[in-house]
Amino acid sequence: MDNFNILLLRISGKLSETDLSNMKFLCQDKIPRKKMETIMIPTDLFTKLMELTELSKDNLDFLIQLLQHAHRHDLAEEVKGFQMPLSREEVSVDEESDEDQLGQAFDIICENVGKDWKMLIRTLGITDSTIEQVAYANPYNMKEQIRQCLREWKKKKRENANVSVLIKALENCRMKLVADKLSDKLNLSHGES
């Protein structure tokens, strides 16, 4: 049995009708009204959020936000505990520096990639449906759309998500200036992997 599903079932059992109603209200921008009417129990909501890729074993941020905004901080902490099984000491220094570099790279890309950002995201292997979902969830905010798509890429590629892949994708999309800026800011050579 999957620990993730066990967690969702356990949380579902602790949510009241009011909690569910509040969480559904917070999801109005993600779930169409007709589908929302079919959600009667928390596990239905969780299933729908998984279908929309808003919730997964590796992506619990949205669920944590929902629980916090519904004033169920106790359950949000329980989800955070599931999310971070490793203690800080178990995370290697290399992994931390890779994370820092990716975060900086995301910032640089969001600031410097313009209207052709979807081409870059497609080059990284993110589907049009994911791009549309992100754009729908963040209307009128191109930088946030780019950032969310980059996060989706990072989740999808896991350990294969690194700065050198981003640089190569930028170059393939003829965004050499942004690739150079990324290399310069992070003190990398284009050949580095």
- Tens digits of residue pLDDT in 100-121: 788 888 999 989 998 889 999 9
Contact 188, 91 (CB under 8 A): no
Whether residue 79 has pLDDT greater than 70: yes
- The more confidently predicted of residues 76 and 193 is 76
Assigned domain for 191 exists: no
Assigned domain for 141 exists: yes
- The more confidently predicted of residues 190 and 30 is 30
Indicate which CATH number applies to the domain containing 181. 1.10.533.10
Contact 186, 101 (CB under 8 A): yes
Assigned domain for 52 exists: yes
Which residues contact residue 27 at a Cβ distance below 8 angstroms, ignoring those fewer than 6 apart?
36, 45, 49, 66
Range of the domain at 78: 3-83
Question: For position 122, what pLDDT does the model report?
Answer: 92
Copy the structure tokens of residue 11. 């949380």
How many whole angstroms from its chain centre is CA 156? 10
Whether residue 189 has pLDDT greater than 70: no
Q: Which of these three, 83, 117, 133, is where a domain ends?
A: 83
Contact 46, 75 (CB under 8 A): no
Average pLDDT, stretch 45-69? 89
CA distances from 169 to 123, 129, 132, 173 (A): 6, 20, 20, 6
Query: For the whole prediction, is pTM greater than 0.75?
Result: no
